Amino acid sequence: MSLKRRYVTILTALSLAFLTACGGGDGRQILVVYSPHGPDLLKTFEARFEEANPDVDVQWLDMGSQEVLDRLRSEKANPQADVWFGGPRQLFQAAADEQLIEAYSPPWAAAAAEYSDPQGRFHGVYLTPLMIAYNSAVVDSASAPQEWDDILNPEWADRVLIRDPMASGTMRTIFGMVLQRSIRETGSVDAGFEWLRRLDGQTREYTLNPTILYQKLARQEGVVTLWDLPDILDIQSRGGSYPFGFIFPLTGTPLVEDGVAVVAGAPDQELARRFVDFVGSESEVITAARKHFRLPARSDIPSDSLPETLQRARDVINPEPINWQLLNERGSEWMRYWDDNIRGRG
């Protein structure tokens, strides 16, 4: 076992031991969820699922989606989590190929079939638009970057903040979009890597986690970033010290197919399946839309049940074509090349 993998395994064991000590002594069944969805959404579903299932204690670990995949890999021989809730399709596909998640068909599966694994190993719950965000206290909507290429303009030099893409499925998808555009236009990834090199030259910092990203953007340590719609809308709704705006590039907005899956060999598979049934049910995807601005992947959710902001997003977004299979097959290789040859060298 590599030193990195051993460290991840030890850290996971310590985290789970802490969670168990904090909440597992009251006789309830423990459900462990790994998720990048953030504490606000996770607390909502913890409370709602426990209300519907008083015999259950939901315990979650909040981490980047790539970090979830890495943990499932390190724990394959002794799974610690029951459910993986949240992350882009290519990472779920990688987990499915490595037999880290297992087939299960929840009652709502047919309504989300377009965004799910044909073999039922993972299912789309939300569609997450990726776009350009900015500090609206110092950048107005007219002068903000309108397209992906605009962020390379001289006025944004040393003013861009980026979530560390080695841990973030969101940023890996944006980088993958750039490289796939390069392949479509030139037949090679070379122009895409040159684009990422120029972006690196514009970037002030790669932040460790989303919270640090928001704080630095609010403090104007950088004024522009690339991120996802639900998080920016959630922060906007709080007002106060987080004055953020956003732009959907008209040339194309990636829609991350955000999934859920039962972990292979989960400690409590029956309970894991019950949670998957729950989070994708009609009432819960509408709750996620209204409270946390999550766009449902289900095709049978009426538009008028969604908040006005998400209804408008559906109208204006031009979906970017993403080859998820190619991203799954080449994504790790591309990111290693970026990390070894581009990060900090732009």
pLDDT tens profile 121-177: 999 999 999 999 999 999 999 999 999 999 999 999 999 999 999 989 899 999 999
Cβ atoms of residues 262 and 273 within 8 Å: yes
Cα 206 to Cα 108, 137, 163, 176, 232, distances in angstroms: 38, 22, 5, 17, 18
The answer on 230 and 328 residing in a single domain is yes
Enter the pTM of the model. 0.84
Instruction: Examine residue 346 and state whether it is found in any structural domain, yes or no.
Output: no
What is the DSSP code (8-state) at residue 115? G
Q: Which domain holds residue 190?
A: 128-254+321-341
Q: What is the Cα–Cα distance from 53 to 138, expressed in whole angstroms?
A: 47
The answer on 103 and 53 residing in a single domain is yes
Q: Three-state DSSP class for 294?
A: coil
Q: Three-state DSSP class for 137?
A: coil
What are the start-end ranges of the H helices in the chain?
3-23, 39-52, 65-74, 89-97, 169-186, 190-202, 210-218, 229-238, 269-279, 282-292, 308-316, 324-341
Instruction: Examine residue 313 and state whether it is found in any structural domain, yes or no.
Output: no
The answer on 23 and 102 residing in a single domain is yes
Q: Summarize pLDDT for 273-313 with one digit per residue, the tens.
A: 999 999 999 999 999 999 999 999 999 999 999 999 999 99
Instruction: Examine residue 316 and state whether it is found in any structural domain, yes or no.
Output: no
Q: Summarize pLDDT for 120-134 with one digit per residue, the tens.
A: 999 999 999 999 999
The answer on 208 and 330 residing in a single domain is yes
